[in-house]
Amino acid sequence: MTFDSHAQTPNPLAPDWLRPPADANELAAGLWPSSASRTSAGELVLGGVRASDLAAEFGTPLYIIDEADARARAAELLAVFQAEFARIGTNAKVYYAGKAFLSTEVVRWMIAAGLNIDVCSGGELAVALAGGAEPSRLGFHGNNKSLAELDQATRVGIGTIVIDSEIEIGRVAEAAARNGRVQNVRLRVNSGVHAHTHEFLATSHEDQKFGIVLTDAPRLVGLIRAQAALNFVGLHCHIGSQIFGADGFAESAARLLDVHAALLADGPVPELNLGGGFGIAYTSADEPTPIRELAVALADIVATECTRLNIPVPVLAFEPGRVIIGPAGVSLYRVGTTKAVDVSGTTRLYVSVDGGMSDNVRPALYGADYAVRLADRTSDIAPELVRIAGKHCESGDIVVDADYLPGDVTPGDLLAVPATGAYCWALSNNYNYQGRAPVVAVLNGAARVLVRGETIADLLARDTGAALSAPTNGGIS
Ligand SMILES: *Cc1c(COP(=O)(O)O)cnc(C)c1O
């Protein structure tokens, strides 16, 4: 550890939340997968494998998932929620939100940990089934499921379908009847609570595409119950993503339980699904609420409300994605160029890497912040404010808007960006005909490919005219 007094003066271009680190090589607690460490020579090691070896074998950019970390997070979250809801006399089910990152291997990890899986398209359903998930352990949601998707889901015997609009009631019933099934369904409602990170907004109506207005729920549940091919399981609600604190969830749960209690007058309502959205740390300024604290607060509010309403406590269901897979992921990039840019007398060091908005679109999409560290070495040189830019043709193509790196960061360096396990590969794209990067799992000193990267041949494969005129790909693979 070096203490550099120079490093204690913030660069005026840095955002307020970002403090200059005493040691710009430190792997801050809570940001990196549990296996992350540095060798005595300063190299980043993940799952027992050196970052430089991973980059040499699989290239950059590269997504790395710490397998033990992801599996432990899934198992611990389930254990904590089950323990807290057992305390109030009920059970809790956990669905892994597959949209965060899904591959057949991740399906196997989640199923082995005792979780169910949520899908929201025919493609995600196909991956879950290819991973060997029993259809009864799957949930299907989305505001515009196609008739083909509903047919496929009911045919394979999917566990539950979340109905998102009045129109879907008839569609799901028809698909279920055609496939000779009585389909378990939830009804997605807007609790009027919308939350993101520290704030939540509570209104009586929400102006958004998902779900139905809470006051409409009794009428729609009546329509569901009138369908012989449907079995109503309970209400469903998802108030947002990357949420810190339990207050938004608690407010939403209280509102839902009022309606849940009214629905009990006309039939059973065995479950209540409060969705996902639990936040994680992307930078050292983020302090997400520990899962146990959330579970305690939610079990307490559910118990209190059920006592007040004099109703039995339902089985609870949750759908976290980010909090399970996000912190288990790290992205590796190679530095190509650096450029010191003078901004009204202050220097910002631009560091350009070989990926960008094609492998992580979250900064461009909604201003998401990330952290960065040197991955193949450490350095005692005083930290400088850096902006990690991608290689794409957009000035908003930023991977890390602001962090401090040792001032000698240079072309050829390997960089690591933590907390990229969720919504990075899943949202990846081929902008500028950049092939999608591979996803590699590391465990006990070994690495294996979960999803291979795309080659130039992959990129040309769907271009129907390519075979006619291109005898060569120019030697680039
Ligand atoms: C996105 C989503 C989730 C998962 O959200 P996370 O922030 O990844 O926990 C759960 N349920 C629904 C309905 C969603 O749309």
Residue nearest to atom 6 of ligand 1 (CA): 277
Mean pLDDT, the chain, as a whole number?
A: 95
pLDDT of residue 3: 44
Q: Ligand 1 centroid to 97 CA: how many Å?
A: 6
pLDDT of residue 199: 79
Indicate which residues carry an active-site annotation.
Answer: 393
Q: Is the pLDDT of residue 473 over 80?
A: no
Q: Probe ligand 1: pick from 73, 118, 318, max atoms within 8 Å of CB?
A: 118
Between 207 and 402, the more confident residue is: 402
What is the number of residues in the chain? 477
Average pLDDT over residues 183-211: 87
Q: Ligand 1 centroid to 296 CA: how many Å?
A: 20
Sign (positive or negative) of CA dihedral 319, 322, 327, 333: positive
Average pLDDT over residues 390-408: 97
Q: What whole-number distance in Å separates Cα of residue 360 and Cα of residue 356?
A: 6
Phi and psi for 163 in degrees, rounded to 5?
Answer: -80, 130
Over residues 26-62, the pLDDT tens digits come to 999 899 999 999 999 999 999 999 999 999 999 999 9
Q: Is the pLDDT of residue 472 over 70?
A: no
Q: Are 85 and 62 in contact (CB under 8 A)?
A: no
Average pLDDT over residues 385-411: 98
pLDDT of residue 408: 98
Question: What atom in ligand 1 is closest to the CA of residue 162?
Answer: 13
Q: Is the pLDDT of residue 417 over 70?
A: yes
pLDDT of residue 207: 82
Q: What whole-number distance in Å separates Cα of residue 296 and Cα of residue 279?
A: 16
pLDDT of residue 317: 98
Strand partners, 404: 385
Q: Ligand 1 centroid to 362 CA: how many Å?
A: 15
Neighbours of 395 (CB within 10 A): 8
Q: Which residues contact 23 (CB under 8 A, 6 or more apart)?
A: 1, 2, 3
Over residues 303-350, the pLDDT tens digits come to 999 999 999 999 999 999 999 999 999 999 999 999 999 999 999 999
SS3 content of the chain, % helix, strand, coil (to 5): 30, 25, 40
Least trusted range by pLDDT, from 244-248, 420-424, 449-453: 244-248
The amino acid occupying position 398 is I
3-state secondary structure of 467: helix
pTM of the predicted protein model: 0.95
Place of tokens 């130039």: 456
Q: What whole-number distance in Å separates Cα of residue 347 and Cα of residue 336?
A: 19
Question: What atom in ligand 1 is closest to the CA of residue 240?
Answer: 7
pLDDT band with cut points at 50, 70 and 90 for residue 200: confident
User: What is the CA angle 121-126-128, rounded to 5?
Assistant: 95
Q: Are 368 and 400 in contact (CB under 8 A)?
A: no
Sign (positive or negative) of CA dihedral 150, 152, 153, 156: positive
Neighbours of 2 (CB within 10 A): 15
Q: Using CB atoms within 10 Å of the CB of residue 444, give its burial: 0 to 12 exposed, 13 to 18 middle, 19+ buried.
A: exposed
Strand partners, 346: 343
pLDDT of residue 335: 98
Residues near ligand 1 (Cβ within 6 A): 97, 99-100, 141, 238, 241, 275-278, 319-323, 422
DSSP string, 75-90: HHHHHHHHHHHHHTT-
Could you give the residue ranges of the DSSP H alpha helices within 15-159? 51-58, 67-87, 104-112, 122-130, 147-156
Over residues 356-376, the pLDDT tens digits come to 999 999 999 999 999 999 999
Question: Can you list the domains of the chain with their CATH numbers?
Answer: 5-60+329-420 (2.40.37.10), 67-325 (3.20.20.10)
pLDDT band with cut points at 50, 70 and 90 for residue 218: very high
pLDDT band with cut points at 50, 70 and 90 for residue 89: very high
Task: Of 282, 265, 182, 200, give the one whose Cα is nearest residue 237.
Answer: 200
Place of tokens 């030697």: 475
Q: Ligand 1 centroid to 434 CA: how many Å?
A: 28
Q: Is the pLDDT of residue 468 over 80?
A: no
Q: What whole-number distance in Å separates Cα of residue 74 and Cα of residue 129?
A: 19
> Tokens at residue 107, please?
């399906």
Q: Is the pLDDT of residue 141 over 70?
A: yes
